[in-house]
Amino acid sequence: MHEPTDQRPRSPVLLRGTFSQKLRIYLFCYCTAMIAATVVGIVVLPIWLVIGPYWVKRYHAALRCEVTDRNVVIGKGLLFRRELTIPLDKIQDISIREGPLLSAFGLLQLRIETAGQSSSPGGKSDADLVGLLDARTVRDRILDQRDALAAPDIAPVDSDRQILIDMRDALLRIEGLLAAR
C-alpha cells in the first residue's frame, strides 16, 4: 500500500484547465518539422513517424493546469515530469500569444510571467501553456483570483477587534471569580 508523503492539506481547485485535441496534431507537426530541419533528423524521422503519435497522445494526457485559491499548478512531461506551482501573489502578467502556426490550428499560448522570472523576453518559460481551451477566460479567472487575494479585507479587522473584546470580557469575568474566592 502506497502512503502519501505529503500530509499538507490541498487547496480546493477553483478552475481546472483543459487542453484542445488540436494540440496533439500541432505538437506532432511541430516536432516533425524540428526533426526534419536537422541533418540527424533525416535518419530519426522514420522512427518519429512511428512513435510520435503515441508520445504526443501521452504528453497531451499528462498536461495539467489547475487554479486554487492561492496558486496556479502546471503539470507537464512524460519521462521527466514537472509540476510547477506559481503563487498568485507572484504573478506579474499573463499574456496570450498567437502566431501563424498556432493560428493555423486555432490554438493560443498562455504565458504566465512571475516576479523574479529568469527567462529572457521571447524565451521559453515553464509557465507556457499552449492549446489551453478558453485561454482568455482562464487568464481572467487567474487575474481575478490574484486581485481578490491581494485586496485588503476590511471585515476581519472588525471581527478581530470583537474577538479581542470578548477575550478581555472573559478575562475580567475570570478575575472577578478569582477575587470572589
* Sole residue written with cell 499573463: 94
pLDDT for 119 equals 53
How far is 118 from 96, CA to CA, in rounded Å?
19
Report residue 162's pLDDT band, with 50, 70 and 90 as the boundaries. Answer: confident
Among the residue ranges 45-49, 123-127, 147-151, the one predicted with the least confidence is: 123-127
Contact 65, 94 (CB under 8 A): no
Map the chain to HEC letters: CCCCCCCCCCCCEEEEECECCHHHHHHHHHHHHHHHCCCCHHHHHHHHHHHHHHHHHHHHHHCEEEEECCEEEEEECCCCCEEEEEEHHHEEEEEEECCHHHHHHCCCEEEEEECCCCCCCCCCCCCEEECECCHHHHHHHHHHHHHHHHCCCCHHHHHHHHHHHHHHHHHHHHHHHHHHC
pLDDT for 158 equals 66
Report residue 153's pLDDT band, with 50, 70 and 90 as the boundaries. Answer: low
Q: What is the mean pLDDT of residues 15-26?
A: 94
Report residue 87's pLDDT band, with 50, 70 and 90 as the boundaries. Answer: very high
pLDDT at 60 over 80: yes
- pLDDT per residue as tens digits for the range 107-144: 999 999 987 765 555 556 668 899 999 999 999 999 99
CA distances from 113 to 11, 16, 152, 164, 178 (A): 22, 19, 23, 41, 60
User: What is the chain's mean pLDDT, rounded?
Assistant: 85
